[in-house]
Amino acid sequence: MSISIDHLDTARWRQWARDFRDYSYRQLWEFGCACANRMGARSEHVAVVQEGEVLGLADVRVKQIPVLRAGIAYINGGPLVRRDDDQDSRRLSLCLEALKEEYANRRGFVLRILAPVGCEDRDCQRTAIFSQAGFLPSNASKPYRTLLVDIRREPEEIRRALAQKWRNCLNQSEKRDLVVRSGTNPDLFRKFCDLFSRFVERKRFKVDLTPSFYVEVHEQLPEADRFHISLAEAGGTVVAGHVASLLGDTCVYLLGASSDEGLRSKASYLLQWQAICTARERGLKWYDLGGIDPVVNPGVYHFKNGLGGWDVTAPGPVEYQALGWKRSVVHSGELIFRLLRRMR
């Protein structure tokens, strides 16, 4: 049966993307375009269609090497294929074949994919599908390892599963005179940015995508897709903040920050718990704690691990390229580009 790649406009992308359970902020139209612009690439928003059925969607960031008909076609958090049925594997297999044909075989790109995260059994199955489709592991970026909390359970059950120390800290925060304000208003986000700037200065670390980047994306988003910002205040002063994305069936923790007073009042524990409660109220199934690295950042890992989530790693990054000289040229060019960026 005929399978086609259809390029979508913004309206159709938003309409169709919301039908997929693996839709996330990484496949937001505005987020993909903003990330592509940072790298001198462009976003192509495509649907894989078979006989009128939309099998899947993918925001493909295309970075072409000047002069040569070669480059990288990168899919972050896609393709979207998951619906409320048992056809996910079929759709993923067909989407991979169509994307390979379009971007690797016809246009000569290295097709690189970092898939959406899911439960462990589903991810093992998807990894096998990528392998069967001829995709190979890539070291171009780090795998996405995170903790997933099952929030389909009743709040009492989720709370019982928390580590004892984590639960004690949550209990303490609830006894404090903390006021939490939540919503999607950009003013809340800008206040979070002020807190985050002081937080980074105190902790002396860097982030690739800053809160100001997310604010710019946030202000372009329709209300239904906007990030959810929560601020904890003590005595009228913001002492902790939390930013999350609530799309598909998963709430993703994106950014967090706290002041010294926020640390003393355990405000971050309260904001994490309220994020779980908000996601449950909206009918979401999972809380993704936004990535972990027990070696590089053991303190953050210890904090997140206290919520009792499953340690999972998303399939990928993997890549596919038709036989020929272009793959080695692309990899060499990519290495040079990274070295130049570090020298700036």
pLDDT tens, residue by residue, 271-287: 999 999 999 999 999 99
Query: What confidence category does residue 200 fall into, taking pLDDT thresholds of 50, 70 and 90?
Result: confident
Section 11-28 average pLDDT: 96
Contact (CB, 8 A) for 218 and 226: yes
The percentage of residues in the chain with a pLDDT greater than 70, rounded to a whole number, is 92
Angle at which helices 164-175 and 267-281 cross, to 10°: 90
Q: How confident is the model at residue 119 (pLDDT cuts 50, 70, 90)?
A: confident
**Is pLDDT above 50 for 342?**
no
Identify which of 318, 330, 283, 308 has the alpha carbon closest to the alpha carbon of residue 21.
283
pLDDT of 339 above 50:
no
What pLDDT was estimated at residue 138? Answer: 93
pLDDT computed for residue 120 by the predictor: 66
Closest by alpha carbon to 262, among 192, 212, 207?
A: 192
SS3 category, 225: helix
Query: How do residues 230-239 score in pLDDT, each as one tens digit?
Result: 999 999 999 9
Q: What count of residues does the chain have?
A: 344
Contact 189, 214 (CB under 8 A): yes
Mean pLDDT of 223-235: 97
- The whole-number average pLDDT for the span 127-148 is 93
Name the 3-class secondary structure at 78.
Answer: coil
- Segments of 9-90 assigned E as strands: 42-50, 53-64, 71-76
Top pLDDT among 119 and 55 is at 55
Query: pLDDT over 90 for what percent of the chain?
Result: 80
pLDDT at 208 over 90: no
> What is 3-144+314-343's CATH topology?
Aminopeptidase (3.40.630)
Rounded mean pLDDT, 152-159: 96
Please list the residue range(s) of the chain that carry CATH number 3.40.630.30.
3-144+314-343, 147-312
Question: Which pLDDT belongs to residue 188?
Answer: 96
Q: Buried b / exposed e across 202-241, counting CB within 10 Å, b at 16+?
A: eeeeeeeeebeebbebbeebeeebbbbbbbbbbeeebbbb
Peptide bond into 79 cis (omega under 30): yes
Check whether 197 has a pLDDT greater than 70.
yes
Residue 52 has pLDDT above 50, yes or no: yes
Per-residue CA distances from 38 to 23, 35, 206, 241, 243 (Å):
22, 5, 17, 26, 22
Can you give the pLDDT at residue 333?
Answer: 52
Per the CB < 8 A criterion, the answer to whether 74 and 60 are in contact is yes
The reported pLDDT for the residue numbered 204 is 74
Q: Which of 338, 261, 322, 310 is nearest to 148 (CA)?
A: 310
What average pLDDT does the structure give for the chain? 91
Let me know if 17 is exposed, middle or buried by CB neighbors in 10 A (0-12, 13-18, 19+): buried
pLDDT at 336: 43
Residue 157 has pLDDT above 90, yes or no: yes
Query: Residue 308's pLDDT is what?
Result: 95
Q: Determine contact, residues 71/109, Cβ cutoff 8 Å.
A: yes
Tell the residue number behind the tokens 């690189």, with chain if given: 112
The least confident of 52-66, 251-265, 327-341 is 327-341
Q: What is the pLDDT of residue 340?
A: 39
**Alpha-carbon distance 13 to 32, whole Å?**
12
* Model pLDDT, residue 249: 96
58 in Cβ contact with 91 (< 8 Å): no
Give the pLDDT of residue 118. Answer: 84
pLDDT band at 344 (very low <50, low <70, confident <90, very high): very low
When pLDDT is averaged across residues 19-29 and rounded to a whole number, the result is 97
Q: Does this model's pTM top 0.85?
A: yes
| Confidence label for 27 from pLDDT (cuts 50, 70 and 90) | very high
Architecture of domain 147-312: 3-Layer(aba) Sandwich (3.40)
For the beta sheet containing 179-183, the strands, ordered from the edge strand earlier in sequence to the opposite edge, are: 179-183, 228-234, 237-247, 250-258, 286-288, 145-150, 310-313
The DSSP H or E segment spanning 269 is: helix 267-281
Mean pLDDT of 20-43: 96
Q: What is the pLDDT of residue 337?
A: 46
Please say if the pLDDT value at position 72 is more than 60: yes
State the average pLDDT over residues 303-323: 92
Contact yes or no for 114/141 (Cβ under 8 A)? yes
Alpha helices in 64-206 (DSSP H): 88-99, 120-132, 155-160, 164-175, 186-203
